[in-house]
Every structure is written in C-alpha cells, then in structure tokens.
Amino acid sequence: MDSQKTVKKSEYNFLEILLFPFRCAFVPAITLLIYTVLNGLTPIMQVIVMAKTINTTIAVVENRASISSVYLSAFFMLLLIGYQWMSEGLARFSQSKVNLNVRAAFRTIVTEKIARLNYKHVENDETWNLIKRILQKPEDQIAGALLM
C-alpha cells in the first residue's frame, strides 16, 4: 500500500498525527473536513433562508412582490434539506474509508514497533499492560479526530 510508505517514521508529533488521515486517505479525509465545516454552517444558512422565505411570502401577500419570487427561496430550502439527508451517509462512507486506510497503515507501524521490543519488556507485566492499554484501537482515535 502506498500510504504505508509515506507514513513510516519512528516518532510523530501532534501535527503529524492530525495529518495522518490525510496522508492515508486524502479524498475521504477532505470530504470529512468539508462535511464538518458545512455541518456547522447549515443551521445558520437555514435561518437565513427561512427568514428570506418568510419576508418574501409577506411581500407576496402584501402585493409588493410576485409569487415567482418565493420559488428561489423555496429552492434553497430544498437544497438544504437535500444536503442534510445525503451528507450524513456520505460522511459515514468517508469515515469508513479513512478508518480502513488509517488502520492498514497505522496497525502495520505499531505491530512492527512491538516486534522490535526487547523481550524483557514483553515479559514485564506492567510494561505489557501499558502496551495493551495503548493498543486498544489507536487508529480509531486518530481517524476519529476528523469528526470532532
């Protein structure tokens, strides 16, 4: 896998860990990033579109505007509703792709690091318990950082 070649390194800093999903699965990670930003902006856009729809409807009732002017704001409302219906499924799909690619790359790196451990660390119960606690799906924690 190409992503394994680009991510192998002995130590990672905080920024590299945040960028890890982008190195493993660039397009799905960008999709998740855009989803997160749009998910935060959607309620604001809904309020704006709803206010515009109400104002336009009032103007139509008061004969200050034609009925055709309501269609544009209704169209934008339909776009927002359609986005909300479709975006969650696309985000779940992208999250799955990111999880799989990060797991494939990161699990290999972690397994190789464990294989290089001295035998005395494997036999030491305290050290091995610490390793087991750290290894409880670390790739999910890295990939999950995109949907916070």
Contact 7, 109 (CB under 8 A): yes
The answer to which of 73-77, 87-91, 121-125 has the lowest mean pLDDT is 121-125
Confidence band of 147 (pLDDT split at 50, 70, 90)? low
As a whole number, mean pLDDT of residues 89-114 equals 84
Q: Is the pLDDT of residue 83 over 90?
A: yes
As a whole number, mean pLDDT of residues 46-66 equals 91
pLDDT for the residue 144: 67
- DSSP alpha helices (H): ranges in the chain? 2-7, 14-24, 26-61, 69-115, 119-123, 125-134, 138-143
Confidence band of 78 (pLDDT split at 50, 70, 90)? very high
Which is more confidently placed, 112 or 82? 82
Global pTM exceeds 0.85:
no
- Residue 65: phi and psi, rounded to 5, are -145, 160
